[in-house]
Each structure stands twice: as C-alpha cells, then as structure tokens.
A and B are shown apart, each in its own frame.
Chain A
Amino acid sequence: MSRLKSLIVPSVRCIVHRRYCSTERVTNALVTEYRNDIFEEEKRRQQGMVRRLEKIEVVHVGPNDPGTFIMNKNLSTPYHCAMHISETYTKYSVLAMVNGEPWDMWRPLTEDCELSFVRFRDKHPEEANKSYWRSCALILGAVMETAFKDTIYVQLARALELPIIKGMFVYDVDLGLKDWTPTNENLRSLSLSAITMKSKDLPFERLEVDPSLALRLFQHNEYKQREVEERVRGGRVTLYRMGKFIDIHDGPMMSKSSLVSMFTVAGIHELPGGLYRVQAISLPHDFYLHSSVWNKLVKRASVPLVGDLSTAGVDESWRETKSSAA
C-alpha cells in the first residue's frame, strides 16, 4: 500500500502542477487505483457506522414464492433477500422494486418494506430496460478507460441517456487525440473487452457520498468534477462501481454485468468540441436475434449522432445526420 501511495502522490502533485512537472505522467491505471482506495475507505467507514444490528421485516410480494424475511437494517440488500429465495432470483433479477419504487439490487434496505424483483421478460419491464441501458453506458465507459495504452490519458466526459428506440447508448470521451478514426479492428477489440467484462460477472456497487468526497475522487477528471455539481440530490451524490471502474450517476443500475449477452461498439466519431462520441449497442442475456438483424442494428447504431453537450437528455433535438442529410 505504501508503494502504491508513493506512486499516487506524485501523480496527484503532477496534476496540480502539471506545467512544472514533465517526468511524471497521469495514467488511467494510477487514477483507477487512487479512486478505488477512496471508494473502499468510504465504504468501510459507512459500514462501520452501523453499530447496532437492527432487524427489519421484508415481505416478498412477487407473483411467485411469497414470504417474509427478517433482514438487517442498513446492511442487507435485495440481493441478499434473493439469495434466500432461489438462485434464479439472484441470476436473472435486474432490479428490485421496494414499495413500488425502483431500487438497486446492491443498495441496503433501510426500513420495513414490500419487495419484488423485475426481470427483462416481465409484462412491464420499462424500469429494468432503462437501468439496463444506462448500465451498458457505464460498461462502455469502463471499456474506454481501460482500452488504451498508458501514453493516452482518457477522460470520460459524459454518458447521455438516450431512449432505447434510438438503438444505441453513447459515452463522450476526451482522448487527447485529434483526427483519429478507429479501424474495424479497434472497434472489435473494444467490443471484445466489453464481453470480457460481462463474463467476469461484476456487481454494480452503489455508494452515496458527500459531494466534497466525490470532487476529491474525480479530481483528475475535469468533466466529472463539473458533473458532480449537477448530480447533487439532497446534499448527496451517488457513485457506482463495477469491478474497478467508478462512475457517478443517479441510477438505479442493473444487478450484474453478466446480464449482458451481446455488446458491440458500433462507431466512434469526433464531435466539434474535440471530444469523441462512442456509440454502442447491446442485448440482454434473455434475448436472441438473428445475426442479420443484429448486423442491421449495429449498422444503424454506427450512424453518427450529432448534438450539443449542453442539451443533454432525452428530447427530440437529437437528429441523426442521415435523416438531416436526406
């Protein structure tokens, strides 16, 4: 750990006095370690704050397997309840509904509640679908941060939330490059690393922290620092961690990365501001599409999506260049 600190501390100093320091470089690997240290410390601190074990009553109100669980307050999560029911609930549940509100599978329960689980093949999976789409954007961010060599310092800018019918999710990244056009091999290797992440079966951990801690955590990324201020909800900010990748989002996210079945990075193109927009498409584990249909979907997702960062969000101002050109 001390060796790690010695690695990190110069890098932090390097950011602060970048102009005067040319020997030390900030790399994504070092920044990831730095963020994980803070995240771990904060998580341990928050878990240590639960001094007394208090019990709460959780009623499962799903269509099957009714029951009541006596769980630990502020420690037990819906995932733990699912473990008490059966393995299929832990494997295939995307989200939990606590008193009718969407709730992360790894978020501790705080009071007596009614619990049910959502899957992709339910009658009304809208909440699960939304959480899947934004979780895939998070996976895309993790892919982009780990894919490049140490010579390129990747700064993730922002994941825009698009409706699923658009057929893609996007992440804007600052690569520090100019006029770079990725080859098909580049895209394929990016897709492959996403598939590797999927097969590792990583949970999406959730942590509510103070904005000042989030600012300290994202101090190597100017875009995320700006986002922290926008994401403050009631004086707290929500962080998500998948594997070693940490991102800031309101959530809720899906349960595990193994819920992804197909993941293809369709295209990367440069935005006017110098950022690169990465577009990808993915399919949950429950569904199968013929390869010809999938290829058409990938082709559709590779069409550049133009838009301004300031008008982020779901609206009709997003136009595809194809339709505007026609």
Chain B
Amino acid sequence: MRLSLMLLITHGKRQRKLGGGKPQRLNILRRVVTGLVRHERIESTYAQCDEAKFYAERLIDYAKLGNTNAGAMRIADYWITEKDLIPKLFETLAPRFAEHDGRYCRLYRLPVTTQNTRDMAVLEYKGNPYPSLRPIPKNHPNSIANILVEGLRQDYEKKMEIDMKDQPAA
C-alpha cells in the first residue's frame, strides 16, 4: 500500500477498497474465505488475498472456541457461505492449529506474465496436504565446503571443551 496521510491516521491498518462498496467488499471476502476453507490453497489477485488473509485467520481463532460456542458458530455461519464446510472448520482446521498462535495462512506473490498482467497471489492454510510451493533447499552435507566447515566446528568444540576443563582447575 502507498504511504499516505490516511495510513498515518489509521496506524498503518488502512484497508483496500474492494468491489463497489461495503456489501460488495464483504461478499468478495466471504467468497475468498469460503474457497480457502474448501480448497486450503487458492489463487486470486494479491489485493483480495491480502485482505482475506486477516479474516481467514480470525475465523480460525473463533473456530478454536469450539462448535458449542454460540458466538463462534454465528461468525462461522456468516463467513462460510457453503454450509457443508462448517464441520470441516471446527473438526479439521481448528484442531490442526490448536498449537499455533496466529499466522495460520501463507501468502505468495505470483510472477506477472504476458498472459496475466494482474498482480496475482496464492493464499493457503498451513499444514495443507499439497506439495510445497517453494523449492526444498538442498544441503549438500557431503560437499567439500560443508566438510571443511564441519571440521572447523569440531575444532572449535574441542577447544571449548579444553577451556571448560581448565577453568575449574584454575
């Protein structure tokens, strides 16, 4: 987002304008959040994904209260337009993030191509069953550079051990 006077006034929490007004904005966000709960990884414009991320995470926070909580059920009923997903939210997603503390979503920008000039992004819940979008880094533990650094580390540990032995004697 651009730096502006409004950003200063709202402590950096200024929202984007989506659609043509408040009801349209909420409809878009509900659609995106429902899609995210169903597929656990969705592709949309960066603006929609970025705005929906906040609501998708708050939805999990409410779902953690349990399906017996009236407030939680009301929020879930409002944000999930396809009602068959409500049990999934309470029984699959909420237990998955029981140990987590916020930040249940991941957001990746997609490259801009000649076919699609819009700024696209991928939004996903963590712990989904799909393969990772980022390449898994290779460590090359048997490479010469790593063996040399490993030798350096072993020397350092040996030195530290000797120092530790010397200290009590002194």
Contact = CB atoms under 8 A, between A and B. Distances in A.
A289 B147 CA distance: 12
B151 A166 contact: yes
Interface in A259-291: 281, 283-284, 286-289
B3 interface: no
Contacts of B149: 289, 293, 297
B144 A287 contact: yes
Nearest to A293: B149
A261 to B, nearest CB: 10
Contact of B152 (A126, A288, A297, A326): A297
Interface in A114-145: 120-121, 123-126, 129, 132-133
B145 A326 contact: no
Interface in B118-167: 138, 140, 142-145, 147-152, 154-155, 158-159, 162
Contacts of A167: 148, 151-152
Interface string A162-189: 0011110000000000000000000000
A164 B155 contact: no
Contacts of B148: 164-165, 167, 281, 283, 289, 297
A129 B140 CA distance: 12
A82 B148 CA distance: 30
B88 to A, nearest CB: 40
B150 A165 contact: yes
A311 interface: no
Interface string A58-91: 0000000000000000000000000000000000
Contacts of B138: 121
Interface residues on B, range: 10 to 19
A283 B143 CA distance: 10
A87 B165 CA distance: 55
A284 B142 contact: no
A241 interface: no
Contacts of B162: 323, 326
B143 A125 contact: yes
Contacts of B151: 164-167, 300
Contacts of B143: 120-121, 125, 129, 286-287
A326 B155 CA distance: 13
Given A121-B138, A124-B142, A167-B151, 5 more contacts: A121-B143, A129-B144, A287-B145, A296-B152, A300-B155
15 contacts: A120-B143, A121-B138, A125-B143, A129-B142, A129-B147, A133-B144, A164-B144, A164-B147, A165-B150, A165-B154, A167-B152, A284-B145, A296-B152, A300-B151, A326-B162
Interface of A: 120-121, 123-126, 129, 132-133, 164-167, 281, 283-284, 286-289, 293, 296-297, 300, 323, 326
